[in-house]
Amino acid sequence: MFTRPLIFKIAVRHGYVVEEASQTVYPDFTLSRPGQQHGKIAIDVKTTYRRPKIGFTLGSYTSFLRNGTKNILHPYSDYVSHWVIGFVYDRVSLTSKESVALKERASVVTPYLNVAWFVQEKFKISGVDPGSGNTANIGSIITADIEAFRRGEGPFAKHGETVFKDYWANYVKGKKVDRIYSTVEEYLAWIATRR
């Protein structure tokens, strides 16, 4: 609700058209120039609450990274950049289960406080491990400091988006002992043996 009007406003200001995807399709928003097939910008909105450390899931690594058209609004090759708008918040415990009259809606306590945010290219905040144990989701970096997200301090930042994409497109789901690689350095060594 917060980001949607801002994205539309920015898009109009810079001559882009905005498309929105359904919940299970990547990305949340696609920006493109009218009449152009390529050069699209992907924007995903992610949220999580504060714990000792924070992290996000950044989408599936078994869909459009492996098959350029699976669960994605346009072919992956049509996109030139992929961005994440992330929000981190403190959860508020709400004990009341009573309904509130509409005229008293101002008394309702929000279920969150202390919202912080960042905007960063996806590959710069991606981690090397899945973001959840039971699904094939790319995990972000895990840190207590949101500044690491703002600065884009993930392990792929210095290697670029191509390394990020290939790392996750070839990632083997399973226990660490079954994986071909579990760090960027191991991936680079593995890829060197394939040449």
Domain membership flag for residue 8: no
Domain membership flag for residue 10: no
Give the domain CATH number at 87: 3.40.600.10
**Average pLDDT value over all residues in the chain:** 92
Active site annotation includes 46: yes
What tens-digit pLDDT sequence spans the chain (195 residues)?
Answer: 889 999 999 999 999 999 999 988 999 999 999 988 899 999 999 999 999 999 999 999 999 999 999 999 999 999 999 999 999 999 888 766 678 888 988 888 888 889 999 999 999 999 999 987 777 899 999 999 999 999 999 999 999 999 999 999 999 876 666 788 989 999 999 999 887
Q: Which two tokens stand for residue 142?
A: 């895990």
| Domain that includes residue 63, residue range | 38-194
Residue 121 CA to residue 150 CA, distance in Å, equals 10
| Residue-level pLDDT at 76 | 96
Active site annotation includes 145: no
Q: Annotated catalytic residue: which of 40, 46, 122, 124?
A: 46
Domain membership flag for residue 117: yes
Residue 22 CA to residue 28 CA, distance in Å, equals 7
Domain membership flag for residue 135: yes
Domain membership flag for residue 6: no
| Residue-level pLDDT at 176 | 65
Domain membership flag for residue 123: yes
Domain membership flag for residue 159: yes
The sign of the CA dihedral 34, 38, 41, 44 is: positive
**Cα 52 to Cα 70, 130, 172, distances in angstroms:** 35, 19, 28
CA atoms in the 13 A half-sphere facing the CB of 98: 9
Q: Annotated catalytic residue: which of 28, 40, 122, 124?
A: 28
Active site annotation includes 129: no
Q: Annotated catalytic residue: which of 40, 44, 78, 122?
A: 44
Tell me the pTM: 0.89
Total structural domains within the chain: 1
What's the gap between Cα 63 and its chain centre?
14
| Residue-level pLDDT at 123 | 98
Domain membership flag for residue 98: yes
